[in-house]
Each structure stands twice: as C-alpha cells, then as structure tokens.
Amino acid sequence: MTPVSQLTDEQATNAANFVVREWIKVDGLEALALWQTIEKVKTGDSVETWVEDPKSKDPEVAKLCRQMLQVFLDSPRGKGPNFRKWAQQGIDKATEAHGQMLDPGSLIIGGTLLIGLVLAARVKSVGPSGVEFFKGLPANLSKLVKLASSMATFS
C-alpha cells in the first residue's frame, strides 16, 4: 500500500471520497447528521472558503484528505465501521493502474465494421443483377486494417 504522504492530490481526494461513500452505505444517518452539522457551521463567518466549496484540485482539500486518511489508518478497530479497512481500500483503488478495456459489445461492433469495410473494398460493381466482388482480398487491406484500428482508438 502506498503511504498517505506519497499520494498525489487527486489520489488523496479519491481515496477519501471512497471512504465517505463506504461510510454512507453502512451508516447513512450518521453521515447525514455530520453533513447537517457542517452545513450549520458553514453559516458562520469562521469557515474558510475552501470548506464551503471544496474542489478536488484544491491543495487544501487534498491536505485535509491526507490527514483524514492517516487518522483512519491509525484508528483502532472497534465496534463501529472499519474506517481503517476502507482507507486501505480507497488508497489501493486510487493508486492502482487503470488500463483501457474493450467490452464485448464494442468488439462485436468493431469486428462487424471491419468486415463491412473489407467487403466494401472488394465491390467491383453494383447493378440490376446484383453485386459483383473482386476475387481475393484487396491489395491495400493492411491500410484498411490500420485505418479501422486507428478509428477504434479514438472512440
């Protein structure tokens, strides 16, 4: 697990958001009560502007998230929610590498499009008797495959 001090601002914010979402799932009423307390405090003049309107790119918010995560990691396991486990999971999720994945539907659509492009490239003539195709694969098939694969990476 990555130490809290080495998290980027975005990773710290994402990990803290994960903990809050898990807490709301388990104990939504307690989270709502805390939110209402924060709203009451915000009506006073003593709250800094970044507390009233937190932005994920704000370094003050990330600093607070790091402190919150460290408190959760240092907390003993008690009868209540397991904040330590959620903090560890949040940090793991925030720091794991994300790769692009193609779902089966995209693969089917892409494959059908490629087959259609190959057939379209082989069309010799279209007339009243039907469609005539050139025999074999087109000579520029490699260009067609490169074009189709470049289109897939942009979508």
Q: Where are the domains of the chain?
A: 4-95, 104-154
Strand, coil or helix: 129: coil
Separation CA 35–CA 64 (nearest Å):
16
What is the pTM (predicted TM-score) of this model? 0.53
Other Cβ atoms closer than 10 A to 70: 15
> Which one is predicted more confidently, 146 or 69?
69
Strand, coil or helix: what is 123? strand
**Residue written as token pair 């932005």:** 55
For residue range 11-47, list pLDDT tens digits in order.
888 888 888 888 888 887 777 777 777 667 666 666 5
Q: Grade residue 155 by pLDDT with cuts at 50, 70 and 90.
A: very low
SS3 39: helix
Q: Of the candidates 12, 6, 11, 18, which has an alpha carbon nearest to the alpha carbon of residue 90? A: 18
pLDDT at 99: 63
